[in-house]
Structure 1
């Protein structure tokens, strides 16, 4: 069995499932339970398969609506900074191409960098406690609470940009207040986590990985459709129409929540005091898990693989916000036009994720003879070096043609993070995987401190120094990718594990490096 299948507890790993596992299902035994019917109201979905499809559709809508806001809000922020620079007190939008001056773009880069960092810090503070709450009161109420806060957060940005323009021109960092709505439910990280938790609740062990795959494709498709639709609307109607369209989808999504049932069986007969004691016990347990997770760092290979996640935030920021501003500033594109550039690469990314299982099968075939661990590590190293090569091409590119070539190369390495997650899973027993993932999440959040602010500084320095320095943001990403690849070179296989099943001469599915 492929080791990539071990990492089904996280959404990022779902695309890496073995093709044979997804296409060929075992014949049910005679005593196997019939298909489960969910406990649901008349108007709610009742079968696990239908429920998973609904979750995937919700993922598509949530991600698409969120992505529709990104570029229009960037345009409105740019216009606000532009008004300050030109000392223009009018409420009309300034022509976008007049806002491409270095001073304006530098200020905007720093603003976006600090906004992203503040958002990450609040995500760190809220994701854990609301995840804990979901285990007590249920997935659905936690998700609806988080979605309420999530809708207020993006709405607050355009609302401030439209209503409180004069106040923002005096202090644009007032936009940070929008992130405070994460305190209501935890925002989109909690919403998406709850959807995957609900998919896990309704899926059998055999079907869980395939369910995660459906949700991952829904999210990826939303990330492709959202920017593409935004580009068409912005080109024709300006930034406010896609903002309104995105906000109009929020009540529709909230209505769809009514059609999904609660999947966690909560004992509501317990007294509040009993719940309070249980929560305290869970907090103590999770703190103990964190301590144990830090103990995993004693194996030098684990922190070396964690470099991938430490630098993940920088790559995400670079290829979502920095790239939009970079292409618009240095190649003279309007922000709406950048969405047309990036959308095909979203489709390519989806294709790469889809073919990875086949590549996995080929590497583990008798012709190549890779073990599960060696195959995962090889793919992680290959993806990381492709990220390095792509970023270097982008850094040296002074025209859009070569920059697109760099993007093309980089997209083939975009699966580095889920591949690294599959690799690192080999080092722990199944019962310790949650602790390991807590360590992974902590690494990703710590990495946010070397993401937005540093990329903003690189962008600013590139505009000041000109010449080859213009590509400094991409050289920074290339450096992080190179350091990650060097670390992966020194990763060594985990020690062999023995189980009772092996002693009885049976195949042990949770021991992939014995494949």
Structure 2
């Protein structure tokens, strides 16, 4: 989060001072350094060797174990609500692309500013995101379960509260991306980013709801599947945004914001899908505790 706040403005300052290549090389070095540091993390799982076991038996045992793990992974998505969570995860990457990877090129073309200066716009969004995440949203989440809150906005437990906040986040994302596509000035664009910052926490709320359907030992497997689903969605989301961007540039005018209008439609789809998610009255973790 801090990196997303600092890096765009830092990159803009470096590009203005030394050109585009030094920041690019610096980013490559930092990525390689991060990858090297991973190898310093100690391994906690000790591999148990089986001496004297035939190769055929090892293969059959590994295959049987792999099939068992696959069956366990599939069991995590046995309910309709979990399938909907997986489908929404395939669409949420569009919000990430709209605020980081795609934003620089779009803002540069629409408002006729150098790409080096678009980093300041991203940093403004980062500041808004941190203020909302650390100060505004904690107050809202506490107020929704506070006994003195009006009954219309009060929830009995944090499960239904998280589902409500996830749905509200999709509405905020829909409004924010629509403003981004419609705005013809940089201040209006930044205002749309601030509204969008209220919606980017939807992924956290969605994962919180998803954990209610699995046991504690299945959470790592659940998050891995959701992460792979999000990465796989980049195969079609990035080309789709690029196609909408090219089409919007051809038509000109308000149609330049066509990519963000498309993301706004995706947010509507995510909101409609979230209406079919049902929060279980008893989580799998509670069942384990009782047992």
TM-score, L = length of structure 2: 0.83
Match of 1:12 in 2: none
Choose the corresponding residue for 1:403, options 183, 189, 198.
189
Q: 2:213 aligns with which of 403, 427, 433?
A: 427
**Equivalent of 2:4 in 223, 229, 251:** 223
CA distance in 2, matches of 1:281, 1:382: 48
1:294/1:439 contact within 8 Å kept: no
- What is the aligned partner in structure 1 of residue 142 from structure 2? 361
Residue 238 of structure 2: aligned partner: 452
8 Å CA contact 1:387–1:481 kept in 2: the answer is yes
Question: Partners in 2 of 1:256 and 1:500 — Cα distance?
Answer: 36
CA-CA distance at 1:247 after TM superposition? 4.4
Q: Pick closer, same or farther for the CA change 1:272–1:468 going to 2, 3 Å.
A: farther
| Deviation digits for residues 292-332 of structure 1 (CA, Å, limit 9, x no counterpart) | 44344442222223333111222222222221111001110
Pick from 267, 272, 279 the counterpart of residue 493 of structure 1. Answer: 279
Q: Does 1:462 align with 2:248?
A: yes
After superposition, where does 1:67-78 map in structure 2 within 5 Å?
Answer: none
Kept in 2, the 8 Å contact 1:459–1:473? The answer is: yes
Please list, as runs of the form range in 1=range in 2, the aligned pairs for 1:301-320 lying within 5 A after superposition. 301-320=81-100
5 Å-filtered alignment, 1:328-407, equals 328-355=108-135, 356-367=137-148, 368-407=154-193
Q: Is the 8 A contact 1:462 1:472 kept in 2?
A: yes
Change (3 A) 1:264 1:428: closer
Report the equivalent of 1:441.
Answer: 227
- Verify: 1:262 aligned to 2:262, yes or no: no
Take 1:457 and 1:295, find their aligned partners in 2: how far apart are those partners?
37
For the pair 1:238 / 2:24, whether they are aligned, the reply is no
- Per the alignment, in what secondary structure is the counterpart of residue 426 of structure 1? helix
Say if 1:272 and 1:238 are closer, same or farther in 2 by CA, change over 3 A.
farther
**RMSD, aligned α-carbons:** 3.0
Relative distance call for 1:464 and 1:257 in structure 2 (3 A) is closer
C-alpha displacement at 1:374, in angstroms? 0.4
TM-score, normalization: structure 1? 0.49
Deviation at 1:408, TM superposition (A): 1.0
Q: Deviations over 1:235-285 (max 9, x none)?
A: 111112213433454676578668x551415358x46887x8779756654
- Following TM superposition, by how much is the alpha carbon of 1:226 offset from its aligned partner in structure 2, in angstroms? 1.9
CA contact (8 A) 1:290 1:439 kept: no
Partner residue, 1:479 = 265
Residue equivalent to 1:81: none
For residues 201-245 of structure 1, the C-alpha deviation after alignment (integer angstroms, 9 at most, x for no partner) is xxxxxxxxxxxxxxxxxxx11222222211101011111221343
Q: What is the match of residue 151 of structure 2?
A: none
Secondary structure, aligned partner of 2:102 = helix
Cα drift, residue 351 of structure 1: 2.9
Report the 3-state secondary structure (helix = DSSP H, G, I; strand = E; otherwise coil) of the residue aligned with 1:477.
helix
Unaligned ranges ≥5, structure 1: 1-219, 504-515
Cα distance in 1 between the residues matched to 2:31 and 2:224: 30
CA apart distance, 1:411: 1.0
Note if contact 1:297-1:303 (Cα within 8 Å) is conserved in structure 2: yes
- Cα gap change, 1:251/1:462 in structure 2, threshold over 3 Å: closer, same or farther? closer
Of 314, 321, 328, 2:101 maps to 321
Contact 2:173-2:195 at 8 Å conserved across structures:
yes
2: CA distance, partners of 1:223 / 1:279: 45
- How far did residue 472 of structure 1 move? 0.9
Q: Superposition pairs for residues 18-33 of structure 1, below 5 Å?
A: none
How far 1:399 sits from its partner (Å)? 2.0
Task: Tell me: CA distance 1:358–1:476, structure 2 relative to 1, closer, same or farther (3 Å).
Answer: same
Q: 1:421 to 1:286 in 2, by over 3 A?
A: farther
Structure 2 residues not aligned, in runs of 5+: 149-153
